[in-house]
Structure 1
Amino acid sequence: MLRPFAVLAFALLLGACSTANVQHDYDGSRDFAGYRSWAWEDPALEYRPDDPRIKSDLTEQRIRQAVAGQLDQRGLRPVQAGARADVKARAYLIVEDRQREVVTSYGGGWGGAWNGYWGGPMYNETRNVDYKVATIQVDLFDGRDGKLVWRGSAEQMMNSGLPGPQERSAAIQKTVAQLMASYPPR
């Protein structure tokens, strides 16, 4: 009887953890206001691991469109042919297998000091739950010296269901918007 409630509680816990964990870092000595144009670094998108189940032209297209849209919203324009870009961008899609230990307690006594305790013994069940975490990372490099000047990453637990193309595009757009929220640094 209590086991279905424990499974439901665990599912709700995982759902609450599905928000993206966003991190940013940047070189404080750089003048980000001077960056006006951008281009893709070669390769534009790297996959880790280089797994054909993850690697897809469709995924790359979605990530590239999301990054380009966010850079455009921040005033950076694609570099003109033959010109040098102020900033070069590279994105990463990293998928990791992780494991979480879950302890479920059931049984135990009821009552209080005035009317005594009654009930059975308490049991704990410990099990490991495997899940996947996807991270999208965007690095921006100075176009003159090639040094990393800004990095944003967002990691999120992957859903076990198979989302459709619209859901994938929306999830990538949302994640890239979250990780680019602090560019340019203030």
Structure 2
Amino acid sequence: MKKFIISFSVFLVAFLTISQIYAQVTSDYDKTVDFTKFKTITFLGWQDNSDQLINDLDKQRILDSFGKEFEMRNLTFVEQGGELAVTLYLVIDQKTSTTAYTNYTGGMGYGGRWGYGYGMGYGGGIGMGSATTSYSESDYQVGTFVVSVYDGESKKLIWQGISSKTINENPKKREKTIPKGVKKLMKKYPVQPPK
């Protein structure tokens, strides 16, 4: 039982750590659209001024990363009138993670035997154990990022990608994780860059 409790505690901590590192990515698109026919794209801006939730450096990292990913798919950005139009949206939620740790202490025992004659005897034993559970809480922020692509002529939504991930507090790491996150999200786009 002790090994199970320790193993489960280690698994739970590992799962919570891993789930906060990797982005959860989903997407949906209009399967009747030929995405390869589009050659130009226009950036329509951030929905609901959600860019105000992040600093200018991270905002530029996001825009540069998406610009690079779309250009790798043979799309050229134009100021207006693009065959495609893209908007970005960001939500940041404050979360609290609770982790439980259980410490089991095995008991001490007493046993003895005494007797006389041919094997008559008495034996006894006492065993005791205790388990204590402690909890720790940590606050973290989860960013949900939505990129929406519209047909520039019909204004119809034709692709949407959503990524949710724990926000890294270290700016130097965000410099690397933002492009990686955008790249992972754009792997869901119907057109992939040439190899």
Name the TM-score, length of structure 1 as normaliser. Answer: 0.75
Distance 1:88 1:28 in 2: 18
Residue 60 of structure 1 corresponds to which residue in structure 2? 59
Aligned length: 168
Q: Assess, with a 3 A threshold, how the Cα gap between structure 1 residues 118 and 138 changes in structure 2: closer, same or farther.
A: farther
For residue 29 of structure 2, the aligned residue among 12, 21, 26 is 26
Aligned alpha-carbon RMSD (Å): 3.2
Residue 15 of structure 1 corresponds to which residue in structure 2? 17
For residue 40 of structure 2, the aligned residue among 37, 47, 65 is 37
Deviation at 1:132, TM superposition (A): 1.0
Residue 171 of structure 2 corresponds to which residue in structure 1? 163
For residue 98 of structure 1, the aligned residue among 95, 102, 105 is 95
- For structure 1, list consecutive stretches of 5 or more residues without a partner in the other structure: none
For residue 137 of structure 1, the aligned residue among 132, 146, 152 is 146
Q: Deviations over 1:76-117 (max 9, x none)?
A: 1123x66x2111111223211112332211124479xxxx89
Q: Is the Cα contact below 8 Å between 1:136 and 1:175 reproduced in 2? A: no
Q: Deviations over 1:25-65 (max 9, x none)?
A: 112222212222101013479427x5xxx432222211111
* Larger Rg computed on CA atoms: 2
- For structure 2, list consecutive stretches of 5 or more residues without a partner in the other structure: 1-5, 109-124
For residue 88 of structure 1, the aligned residue among 85, 89, 107 is 85
Distance 2:138 2:126 in 1: 34
Residue 147 of structure 1 corresponds to which residue in structure 2? 156
Distance 2:85 2:43 in 1: 5
Q: Post-superposition, which runs of at least 4 consecutive aligned residues in structure 1 deviate over 6 A? A: none
Distance 1:14 1:156 in 2: 12
3-state DSSP class of the match of 2:33? coil
Q: Is the Cα contact below 8 Å between 1:106 and 1:123 reproduced in 2? A: yes
Whether 1:120 aligns to 2:129 is yes
Aligned residue type for 2:177: A
State the percentage of identical aligned residues.
Answer: 25
